[in-house]
A and B are shown apart, each in its own frame.
Chain A
Amino acid sequence: MENGFLLEQKTLEGDLNSDTSHKSSVDFLMNWFRKRSIFVLAYGTGCGAIEMPPTFTSRYDAERLGIRGAATPRQADVIIVSGYCSYKTLRRIIRTYEQMSNPKYILALGSCTVNGGMYWDSYNTIKKLEDYLPVDMYVNGCMPRPESILEGFIALQKEIGEGKASSWQKYEENYEFYRKNQEAVLGEKVEPSYAADWYLYDGGL
């Protein structure tokens, strides 16, 4: 009988290997590769970023599921929007997301990304992330513990394995809808100035 770590691993991965809905063996193989090597952009956007280090380090060790960090947006598959998302942050998230290469997924943490959370009446925090960017998986909680984040990842992996997670296609198809919503809160100029511009020329510190 398994117990401890092995039992946890088995419970987590339980139905991950049992997906049968693939169209062909090539599809199956592609999806299997994708779901088992998820590179997560090392980018924290809110208070929820504090739960990410324990998720990826020895205690919860996400790498046993094939989930690990990536240094730059161009190498990453998943961006975690961890917590409340102010207008200023949203600009940076949009730029980062558009820099990532396909296939790309968004995992949104915390109640703030779901409905505003405790910032529901704040003048510079958006309330529904999916109006501005396509979200694959919400993990609720304030803040979600690393266990919940891992479960969110497993659910995302399952969707990827079945070929259902296709938010980046949704973003390309409905780009006008997203762009309209982005412009409604951020103004005409959605993309931020580069940090160097801001620091050296745009008034600076």
Chain B
Amino acid sequence: MYALVRPYEDWGDCMSKRGIALYLHVHQPWRVRDYTVFDTAENHDYFGPFSESHRNNKEIFEKVANKSYRPMTKLLKELLDTHPDFKVSLSITGTLLEQAEQWGPDVIDSFKALVDTGRCEIVAETYYHSLAFFYSRSEFEHQVEKHRQKIRDTFGVETSVFRNTELSYDNNLARWADEFGFKGILSEGWDPILGWRSPNYVYKPVGTKNIKLLMKNYRLSDDVAFRFSNRAWEEFPLTADKYDNWVNAALGDDGEVINLFMDFETFGENIWEDTGIFNFFRDFVGRWLANPANTFYTASEACETFEPADEIDTPYTTTWADTERDLSAWLGNGMQHEAMRHLYDLEGDILRTKDEALISDWRRLTTSDHAYYMCTKYFTDGDVHAYFSPYESPYDAFLYFINALRDVRFRLYEHHRHGDL
């Protein structure tokens, strides 16, 4: 256990500035087109190009690039140039990088320009934004390595802090990340886990040696990510002034770091520019840094700067999703379980083919969004899911996914037939 009152010699830490660790997640999946049973075994192109506009990956990428990636990277660069203390952490999935390479190389250049300032950290995760940790440790590690390599190749930097898909997290994951050598890991600052404690400190996951835990302050994060444009919210409209007061109040006299974690697409895509979200963010950063006692930290800096305030025990999996903060939006019904089980059952056979195209298609199907689109929790969390699903119904999403998976099986069968296995 860690003493809550620190020994005298550690007081130097207390001189560290109060900070914000801003972390933004950048991701697009390879959506499965309306892939029917008549395509199965005939046509192996699951991800387009195709005409249905809601599932047209290229059109969606271009829309989000224009509404969010381009204007937000521009704003972040401006803030980095203006404020020497401004810092940001990003996790960018492999699937998003693949799409950007094909359809918007300038978007990658914009991210590179941020990384090149030395004050934008890239956070590690699975290349395919998958739930592999819960199904196959070997596939999970492969996807983490593949992502690290992709980040190395694209940005020339190493990753040292890990986040798992949808901020899913538990003790096992923390132990794995510790042994893997990460210095930090991110999770939801969920009250049942924190108990009386505040998310505004750095923690240590139970049963680990070196790794530190940064927990999302979901109230302040969601004020921006979910409530900013909500006219029915009693705090609407949220001004930079008001938000600055809230962050200051949340930190109090001895708080260390506010972890603001959200989707990058919050800026411009989920919340449109005409709501004033970009100006709000610019103003807030200026206001926050106007106080010389304040600063920003990258994720790894926050881990290095502060000593753990306590140990955190997370015996079950938490995520940053929904009111339950669990995986039920991904693995909550029979369709989702069946789809994932059939998918991961193929792992060994798929990898043995050494067929790059087949392996890549199979891995693209591990992206968690596919399972999310099959979510049937309509009646409580329904609005959020309805907004983020490109399919007419969760049943359609399941159908096209299973049809594609059957085609993957067919291709496996072809390998067997030709004696490749």
- Co-complex (A, B): no
Residues of A within 8 A of B (CB): none
